[in-house]
Amino acid sequence: MSIIERALKRLRADGNDTQVRRVFGRVDEAASEQAVARRVISIDQDALRASGLLPPKQQELEIANQYRQIKRPLIAAAMGRGREAVPNGRLIMMASALAGEGKTFTAINLAFSMAREENLQVVLVDADVAKPQISKMFGVHSELGLLNAVSNPTLDPERLIFSTDVPNLFMLSAGTQSDRATELLASERMVDALTRLLARNPNRIFIFDSSPLLLTTESLALAAVAGQVLVVVRAENTEHHVLVDALNRLPEGCSPSLVLNQTTLKSAGYYYYGYGTPATTTEQ
C-alpha cells in the first residue's frame, strides 16, 4: 500500500465522512469548484502545433487513433477497468533520460486523448519545475502551481487548477521556482497535496510532465509517488547505456513503460503512433 493510500485510509478509518471533507477542505466544495471553473485557459492549438507540441493537421486523425491504443492500458491501470487498479495509478508521470526525447509532446497529446474519454477528467501538471515549458506555452508560468501547493500547506491545491476550453482537460502550473524543489517534491507535504487532489474526484487522472531523469533530481522524487511512469526514448538518439542508467535511477519497485519515439520500425506487439514523418511506438 502506498503512502498516499495509507493517508486516505487513515482519514476514512473511523467512517467519518464529514471529517474527511473537512480535512480536504470540501465543506465549501461547491463554492471551491465554482471558483476553479472561472479560471479558464484558452489553449492556442495552432501555437502548440507551430511549436511542435501537437502533430500537423494532416496527421491528426492517424495519431489520434494511435494514442487511443496507448492510453487504454494506462486508463485501465488507473481506474481499475477490467483489471485491478495500480496503487496511485491515477498519477501518471512522463519522463525521459535526457532532454529532446519528445517527453512533453507525449504528455500533451496523451492528455488531449484521455480528455476525450467519457466520465473522465485529466489534469496536465507541469512538474518540470526546472524548465516549465508547458506553463509558458499555456500562459500560466507566473501563476501559483505545484510547488506553491507543496510549500504552503494552507493553500488548497484544488484552487490552483485551471480549467481549459478543451472539455475535461485541466492544467496545474509548475508554480514559483525554488532551489528546494527536490526537497519539496520528496516531502510529506507533497504526499498531502496529492492525497487531497486524488480524494477530490475519483474520476480524474493526473499527467505529470517531469524533468529528464539524468539532468535533475526532481523527477526521481516525483517517481517515488507516481503510480505509473512512462519513459520516452528517442530512436537512434538515446544510447543504450544512457537509458539503462536512467532506468536504474528510478525508485525500487517502479516498473516503467517505454515509449519509443521517432522510429520508422514497426513490429508485432507494439502500439504505433506518429509525429511528422517518423512513426512512434510504445511497448507496455
Supply the pLDDT for residue 64. Answer: 87
Residue 78: C-alpha distances to residues 88, 93, 185, 197, 209 (Å): 7, 12, 21, 15, 17
Cell (9 digits) for 26: 470540501
Domains of the chain: 3-283 (3.40.50.300)
* 57-99: pLDDT as tens digits: 998 998 888 788 889 999 999 998 877 889 999 999 999 999 9
Report the mean per-residue pLDDT for the chain.
83
* 38-59: pLDDT as tens digits: 579 999 999 999 999 999 999 8
Contact yes or no for 251/217 (Cβ under 8 A): no
Contact yes or no for 89/226 (Cβ under 8 A): no
* 180-209: pLDDT as tens digits: 999 999 999 999 999 999 999 999 999 999
* 167-182: pLDDT as tens digits: 999 999 999 999 999 9
Supply the pLDDT for residue 2. Answer: 65
Rounded to whole angstroms, how far apart are CA atoms 106 and 124? Answer: 12
Average of per-residue pLDDT across 18-27: 39
Whole-prediction pTM: 0.82
Residue 236: C-alpha distances to residues 101, 119, 262 (Å): 11, 39, 8
Supply the pLDDT for residue 59. Answer: 87
Contact yes or no for 134/108 (Cβ under 8 A): yes
Largest pairwise CA distance in the chain: 57
Supply the pLDDT for residue 15. Answer: 52
**Greater confidence, 107 or 278?**
107
* 244-257: pLDDT as tens digits: 999 999 998 888 99
What phi, psi does 122 have (nearest 5°)?
A: -125, 130
In the chain, the DSSP E strands lie at 40-41, 91-96, 121-127, 162-164, 169-172, 204-210, 228-234, 257-263, 271-274, 279-283
- What pLDDT band is residue 27 in, cutting at 50, 70 and 90? very low
